[in-house]
């Protein structure tokens, strides 16, 4: 069976709803929302690459998706986001308390799932990887929130934040698969580095889409990051590349709550465009794509076996070739 079908079957067959319903129905709603199921796909792709038993580890793989959805649930409360994947967020459809508590239960469920089908000999490594990754994702989310309140953020700080917020979970999903399949530590490290670089490129792409994307395919409103004061690749770079007056205009606009949101968004995007930010995003994504390809090249597997990883990387960062 194809990996995508194995994952689809798992989620379709999984019943989330138990008592009390108000705890479990939001979890069901979150898990039914679809999404790309990227992270479990990555786990099983790596299991397959390193010759492991793909069907055995579907629940461990699915745990990464449950964890990811837990982070979205709590992030949406913290960001006061109303829409996710084209549907009302859980704190909108229910309330904040439901989103907090159901999120907590999802994190615990993820721990149960990650462990349940793993051999005892691998249990500690799996758990250590999962917990380390989970805490790093929280750290990334904290930096993201902290940065919203700051005027300037350096590119180094930005990259550290997106490494934690986005990179580690994609990287760890691949490493999890390698670990489950019994790959060597070096192989685990290389596949992790591949995932990390793809993840960083993916986040830059996501930052780009917040300004230049299509609301329908993006699933979120354009300019959300701008209104939150999020420190995106475009903002951080504009505050370096821009002339004195452009920088000043950006800083004034970000802190100005007396203009209409649409005006704020279009004024800032207009400066981004003047500063050639779409091109800069593309160059940065290319750089991380190259780094990812380099890590992949260190793994002693055939081009055919590695092809799905290259296709995945391209798809994730919106590349056509």
Binding site for a copy of itself (CB under 8 A): 19-20, 22-23, 74, 77-78, 96-97, 100-101, 103-105, 107-109, 111-112, 115, 120-121, 123-124, 127, 131, 134-135, 138-139, 141-143, 145-146
Closest approach, Cβ 74 to a copy of itself, in A, equals 6
Helix axes 277-297, 185-212, angle to 10 degrees: 170
The string of DSSP codes covering 222-237 is TTHHHHHT---HHHHH
256: tokens are 């100005």
Closest approach, Cβ 132 to a copy of itself, in A, equals 8
> With respect to a copy of itself, which residue has the nearer C-beta, 140 or 242?
140
> With respect to a copy of itself, which residue has the nearer C-beta, 104 or 276?
104
> With respect to a copy of itself, which residue has the nearer C-beta, 75 or 187?
75
> With respect to a copy of itself, which residue has the nearer C-beta, 105 or 227?
105
The owner of tokens 């593309």 is 282
Closest approach, Cβ 149 to a copy of itself, in A, equals 10
> With respect to a copy of itself, which residue has the nearer C-beta, 230 or 288?
230
Nearest to 31 by CA among 58, 76, 64, 78: 64
Closest approach, Cβ 249 to a copy of itself, in A, equals 29
Partners of 83 in the β-ladder: 88
Burial class (CB in 10 A: 0-12, 13-18, 19+), 321: exposed
Closest approach, Cβ 266 to a copy of itself, in A, equals 28
> With respect to a copy of itself, which residue has the nearer C-beta, 109 or 163?
109
9: tokens are 């079957």
288: tokens are 């991380």
d(CA 306, CA 251) in angstroms, rounded, equals 44
> With respect to a copy of itself, which residue has the nearer C-beta, 5 or 19?
19
Half-sphere exposure of residue 267, counting CA atoms within 13 Å on the CB side?
17
Closest approach, Cβ 68 to a copy of itself, in A, equals 13
For the chain, give percent helix, strand, coil, nearest 5. Answer: 75, 0, 25
Burial class (CB in 10 A: 0-12, 13-18, 19+), 108: exposed
Nearest to 164 by CA among 146, 139, 198: 139
Closest approach, Cβ 122 to a copy of itself, in A, equals 10
> With respect to a copy of itself, which residue has the nearer C-beta, 140 or 223?
140
Closest approach, Cβ 145 to a copy of itself, in A, equals 6
Q: Are 53 and 66 in contact (CB under 8 A)?
A: no
Closest approach, Cβ 134 to a copy of itself, in A, equals 5
84: tokens are 């996710």
Q: Are 51 and 44 in contact (CB under 8 A)?
A: no
Nearest to 3 by CA among 53, 56, 41, 39: 41
> With respect to a copy of itself, which residue has the nearer C-beta, 115 or 310?
115
């Amino acid at each position: 069976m194809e990996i995508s079908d194995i994952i689809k079957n798992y989620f379709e067959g999984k019943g989330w709803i138990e008592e009390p319903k108000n705890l479990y129905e939001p979890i069901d709603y979150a898990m039914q929302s679809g999404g790309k199921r990227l992270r479990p796909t990555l786990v099983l792709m790596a299991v397959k690459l390193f010759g492991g038993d793909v069907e055995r580890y579907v629940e461990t793989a699915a745990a990464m998706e449950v964890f990811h959805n837990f982070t979205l649930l709590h992030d949406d409360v913290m960001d006061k986001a109303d829409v996710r994947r084209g549907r009302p967020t859980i704190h909108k459809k229910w309330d904040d308390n439901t989103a907090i508590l159901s999120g907590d239960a999802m994190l615990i469920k993820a721990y149960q799932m990650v462990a349940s089908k793993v051999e005892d000999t691998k249990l500690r490594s799996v758990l250590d990887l999962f917990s380390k990754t989970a805490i790093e994702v929280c750290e990334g989310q904290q930096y993201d929130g902290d940065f919203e309140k700051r005027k300037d953020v350096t590119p180094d700080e930005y990259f550290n934040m997106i490494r934690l917020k986005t990179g580690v979970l994609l990287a760890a999903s691949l490493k999890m698969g390698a670990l489950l399949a019994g790959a060597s530590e070096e192989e685990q490290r290389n596949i992790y580095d591949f995932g990390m670089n793809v993840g960083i490129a993916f986040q830059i792409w996501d930052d780009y889409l917040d300004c230049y994307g299509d609301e329908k395919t993006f699933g979120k409103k354009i300019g959300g990051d701008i209104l939150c004061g999020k420190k995106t690749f475009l903002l951080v770079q504009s505050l370096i590349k821009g002339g004195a007056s452009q920088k000043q205009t950006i800083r004034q606009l970000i802190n100005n709550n007396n203009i209409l949101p649409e005006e704020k968004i279009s004024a800032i995007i207009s400066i981004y465009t003047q500063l050639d930010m779409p091109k800069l995003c593309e160059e940065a994504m290319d750089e991380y794509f190259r780094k990812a390809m380099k890590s992949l090249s260190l793994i002693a597997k055939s081009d055919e076996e590695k092809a799905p990883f290259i296709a995945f990387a391209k798809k994730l960062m919106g590349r056509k070739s």
